Amino acid sequence: MAPAAPNIDGVLETSLYVDDLEGAARFYEEAMGFAPLVRDARLCAYDCGRRSVLLLFARGTTGETAPLAGGAIPPHEGAGRLHLAFAVRAEDLASWETRLADHGVSIEARMTWPRGGASLYFRDPEGNLVELATPGLWANY
Amino acid sequence: MAPAAPNIDGVLETSLYVDDLEGAARFYEEAMGFAPLVRDARLCAYDCGRRSVLLLFARGTTGETAPLAGGAIPPHEGAGRLHLAFAVRAEDLASWETRLADHGVSIEARMTWPRGGASLYFRDPEGNLVELATPGLWANY
């Protein structure tokens, strides 16, 4: 039996890599309503609730080690239409659908999960697959 | 003034796309100690605490719409060395470093953040950049 791992207290940061940072930022701020924690020409960071953070990186700016005053951030980069999901309350799903429609965002698919949760799927301007999911999806949600 | 968005209750799912699902699963289960929520030939899902979920998708299996009993999941896919961060308590960071060393995982970089948080950076077997970060990084963490 392996020793138990020290505690992990959740995913803190989730990253997307975008060609048009300004356009993606507009989507996450205006359609999704996220508050920026950082907003510069290379990175936008958003508070997504429950102290989780969405990072939008301008593609091509993260492929080299970034030396900083307190250390360094190693290279990373991404391509493709990534998938991420945000948790929403069941009673807010209809309001979200209205809001997305008001911002010209089409719902691409829907799911009702065996545990009773429901998901909406749509795209950000970069083609990433965004999901809003209500409780009743995973054993831990 | 735009109407306030309905509530978002955090990032629920963060996705990685891997060539060797078995090898990646071993890393996240054995080195990171994550408990599987789902584990099949296409997808491994892990409970990362605070009801956040890490999804590992076998690359090449998600590029078409997946019709399911309750609806459908649209196409998504990813490439590159993506970045994600997990929250850990400050008092657990040294234990994490020991555990990673015990599993042959090298620390690639470290950061001390202006707000007092600390981060360790290392790679999963697919080259994704994994960070463990203690509180004192973002305005919301």
- Reported as a single tens digit per residue, the pLDDT across A59-76 is 999 999 999 999 999 999
Q: How far is CA A59 from CA A16, A77, A83, B93, in A?
A: 9, 7, 17, 30
Q: What is the CA radius of gyration of chain A?
A: 17
Residue B55 confidence class, pLDDT cut points 50, 70, 90:
very high
pLDDT at B2 over 70: no
Chain A: closest CA distance from residue B77 (Å):
5
Q: Do the domains at B9-62 and B81-141 have one common CATH topology? A: yes
* Cβ contact, residue pair A47, B81, below 8 Å: no
pLDDT at A1 over 60: no
* Distance of alpha carbon B93 from alpha carbon B42, whole angstroms: 32
Q: Where in chain B are the domains?
A: 9-62, 81-141
CATH superfamily for A81-141 is 2,3-Dihydroxybiphenyl 1,2-Dioxygenase, domain 1 (3.10.180.10)
Q: Which residue has the higher pLDDT, B28 or B3?
A: B28
* Cβ contact, residue pair B8, A77, below 8 Å: no
Q: Kindly report, residue by residue over B36-53, the tens digit of the pLDDT.
A: 999 999 999 999 999 999
pLDDT of residue A3: 76
Of A52, A89, A109, the CB nearest to B74: A109
pLDDT of residue A2: 64
In A93-132, the residues whose Cβ lies within 8 Å of chain B are: 95-96, 99, 108-114, 119, 121, 128-129, 131
CATH for A9-62 is 3.10.180.10
Residue A113 confidence class, pLDDT cut points 50, 70, 90:
very high
Nearest of B39, B46, B133 to residue B83 by alpha carbon: B133
* Cβ contact, residue pair B140, A5, below 8 Å: no
Beta bridge partners of A52: none
Q: Which long-range contacts (CB under 8 A, 24 or more apart) does B35-44 make?
A: B37/A138, B37/A139, B37/A140
* Cβ contact, residue pair A83, B2, below 8 Å: no
* Distance of alpha carbon B24 from alpha carbon B128, whole angstroms: 10
pLDDT of residue B1: 52
Q: What would the two tokens of residue A58 be?
A: 């301008």
pLDDT at B5 over 70: yes
Mean pLDDT of B85-98: 98
A73 touches chain B (CB under 8 A): yes
Average pLDDT over chain B, rounded to an integer: 97
Q: Kindly report, residue by residue over A8-37, the tens digit of the pLDDT.
A: 999 999 999 999 999 999 999 999 999 999
ipTM above 0.95, yes or no: yes
pLDDT of residue B3: 76
* Distance of alpha carbon B14 from alpha carbon B140, whole angstroms: 19
Non-local CB neighbours of A112 within 8 Å, separated by 6+ positions: A118, B70, B71
* Distance of alpha carbon A58 from alpha carbon A52, whole angstroms: 20
